[in-house]
Amino acid sequence: MTKYAAFLRGINVSGQKSIKMAELRKSCMAEGLLEVETYIQSGNIVFSCEPLADGGPAKRISALILDAYGFEVAVIAKSAKELAGIVAANPLARPGACEPKGLYATLLERPPIPADMKVLAARASERYELVGDVIYTCYARGYGKSEFSNNFIERVLKLSATTRNWNTMLKVSEMAGSFRSPGTRFAS
């Protein structure tokens, strides 16, 4: 069995694409996923299943949501091992690099093409670092006040993405068994 974390894009926002997490857990278990847990209403699912090929877990959850709820949701799934790598690779998660409340990770469906990253760099209003298929961002004035939003990143990079604050990333990683909190908001 492999442990995975799935991050859903754009659910339970302003009354759109409403999914109750208790119902989602039941739907996932009915589809054969094991040890299903969810974290907060923004759509973070941790589960176990047989190892699936690249894209398999995301496609499986996305199809389940379409069948059970009647709408499409972009899903980005990572194995516990991949999630541990995301936590460890954050160049902004060190003391003094960013205020903890301003630290976010944007998970991309795939690594962006260099030409699109040049456009993003030219238009970025926040300090960020790209590592593989994750953009780590330090929102100095807060995420809600920035133009460098998930929608902006998706438009410029022409791909699906979902953004989580760093505390959520650490909690989901901990739930997946790939990270143990050292009692701070930053990874060690």
pLDDT at 57: 87
DSSP state for residue 70 in the 8-state scheme? S
Say what the pTM is.
0.90
**From CA 86, how far away is CA 184, in angstroms rounded?**
17
Q: Which residues are bridge partners to 135 per DSSP?
A: 106, 130
The answer for 115, left when phi > 0, alpha when psi is -120 to 50, beta otherwise, is alpha
Task: Give the relative orientation of helices 114-123 and 150-157 as an angle to the nearest 10 degrees.
Answer: 140
Q: Which residues are bridge partners to 4 per DSSP?
A: 47, 79
Give the pLDDT band (50/70/90) at residue 18: confident
pLDDT tens digits, 82-121: 999 999 999 999 888 999 999 999 999 999 999 999 999 9
**From CA 19, how far away is CA 65, in angstroms rounded?**
9
What domains can you pick out in the chain, each with its CATH number?
A: 2-79 (3.30.70.1280), 83-175 (3.30.70)
